């Protein structure tokens, strides 16, 4: 009898653990239906980005990419991630993109080929996520993959892939390419950071509702 009771308790514990894990595992539906469901902002991955404009590749790689990412943290009211994604709280973890951005080939940053503005497919985003160092991370991460930045006649825009990732498995749960316009700003950092501001504004005003209708039900 004692052995049977011990086995019963063991089975109960295993079942309880399985139910608990299932209950607290996050899904894409949770992201778009529950403001308390956490996500981690992983930052902007510039590792394959092309700049169709003039610039100093060394300065861009070694200072400006990190500076743009840091600006998002320093000015949360301007770059309102929580408002755009209807979240009570969003954590930041740039370790993976910092490592990826540090490996950029400076000879590939500047481009004179207009076709480079539109060259990614969803499979490219999947491969980039697979190459991110997300070891030890769990939950859902929000990643902005910068495909390209171009400036013509003093006007510019950027192609950015808004991507949600299961950080434990590196599975891409959602990715969508958006074109975001630059705004009046002084300097490389502020100008291209303004495309992130425009991106978040569009998500908050329009895109979130579209995604919520598609993924949140």
> What is the model's pLDDT at position 96?
98
Residue by residue, DSSP assigns the chain as -HHHHHHHHHHHHHHHHHHHHHHH---HHHHHH-TTS-EEEEEEE-TT-EEES---HHHIIIIIHHHHHHHHHH-TTTS-HHHHTT-S-EEE--HHHHHHHHT--GGGTB---GGGGS---HHHHHHHHHTS--TT--SEEEEEEEEEEEEETTEEEEEEEEEEEETTTTEEEEEEEEEEE--S-SSHHHHHHHHHHHHHHHIIIIIHHHHHHHH--
Higher confidence at residue 69 or residue 12?
69
Residues 75-99 pLDDT 10s: 999 999 999 999 999 999 999 999 9
Whole-prediction pTM: 0.88
What average pLDDT score do residues 36-64 get?
96
Min mean pLDDT across 32-36, 175-179, 199-203 is at: 32-36
> What is the model's pLDDT at position 16?
41
């Amino acid at each position: 009898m004692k052995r049977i009771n011990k086995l019963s308790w063991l089975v109960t514990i295993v079942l309880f653990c399985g139910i608990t894990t299932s209950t607290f595992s996050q899904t894409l539906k949770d992201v778009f239906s529950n403001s308390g469901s956490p996500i981690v902002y992983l930052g902007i991955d510039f590792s394959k980005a092309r700049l169709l404009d003039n610039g100093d590749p060394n300065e861009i790689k070694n200072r400006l990419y990190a500076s743009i990412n840091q600006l998002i943290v320093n000015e949360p009211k301007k770059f309102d991630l929580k408002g755009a994604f209807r979240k009570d709280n969003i954590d930041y973890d740039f370790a993976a993109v910092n490592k990826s951005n540090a490996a950029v080939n400076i000879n590939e940053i500047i481009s004179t080929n207009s076709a480079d503005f539109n060259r990614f497919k969803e499979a490219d985003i999947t491969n980039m996520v697979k190459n991110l160092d997300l070891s030890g991370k769990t939950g859902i991460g929000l990643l902005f993959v910068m495909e390209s930045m171009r400036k013509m006649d003093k006007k510019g825009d950027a192609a950015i892939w808004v991507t949600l990732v299961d950080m434990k498995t590196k599975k891409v749960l959602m990715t969508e390419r958006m074109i975001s316009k630059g705004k009046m700003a002084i300097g490389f950092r502020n100008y291209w950071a303004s495309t992130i501001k425009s991106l978040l504004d569009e998500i908050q005003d329009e895109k979130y509702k579209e995604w919520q209708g598609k993924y949140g039900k």
